[in-house]
Amino acid sequence: MTREYKSAYRMRNKKKCRCGNPKKEHQKICNPCHAAYMREWRKWHKLNPEQKKKDNARSMAKVYYQRGKIEKRPCYFCKTKKNLERHHTDYNFPLKIIWLCKKCHRKNNNYTFPKKAYANNN
């Protein structure tokens, strides 16, 4: 195959994964292929106990949010309601989260929050 043929092929099929499924604009592979790759990758790259605790806390907070038991609040610092992320100050308390916009989350990751700032005071 020539270089021109490969280039033309890539241009024709840039929205498809190697399996033929459609992929999103900035992804190399489709979601099912990525999920299969990650399942295989996790078999050999186990999480350490601290990573496991963080992963469990994030998952629990996500489920509680999806079920409506935790409500979104504006960003603690700038009060915006766009690009919000959950922030855990202590992973031992997975439901004690603070909502921060992406920009403030990056700037203030080590800030000490007052008790009234938490979205769910369990």
Grouping H, G, I as helix, E, B as strand and the rest as coil, residue 88 is strand
Predicted TM-score of the model (pTM): 0.65
From the list 4, 2, 29, the residue with the least C-alpha distance to 14 is: 29
Residue 12's pLDDT is 63
Domain limits of the chain?
14-46, 47-122
- Are 70 and 119 in contact by the 8 Å Cβ rule? The answer is yes
Tens-place pLDDT, residues 53-93: 999 999 999 999 999 999 999 999 999 999 999 999 889 99
Q: How many CB atoms lie within 10 A of CB 73?
A: 16
pLDDT band at 27 (very low <50, low <70, confident <90, very high): confident
- Residue 120 is classified by DSSP as -
DSSP state of 71: -
Residue from 87, 91, 89, 93 nearest 106 by CA: 87
Give me the residues paired with residue 16 across strands: 22
Q: Which residues of 5-36 are buried (b: 16+ CB within 10 A; e: fewer)?
A: eeeeeeeeeeeebeeeeebeeeeebbeebeee
Mean pLDDT across 102-119: 79
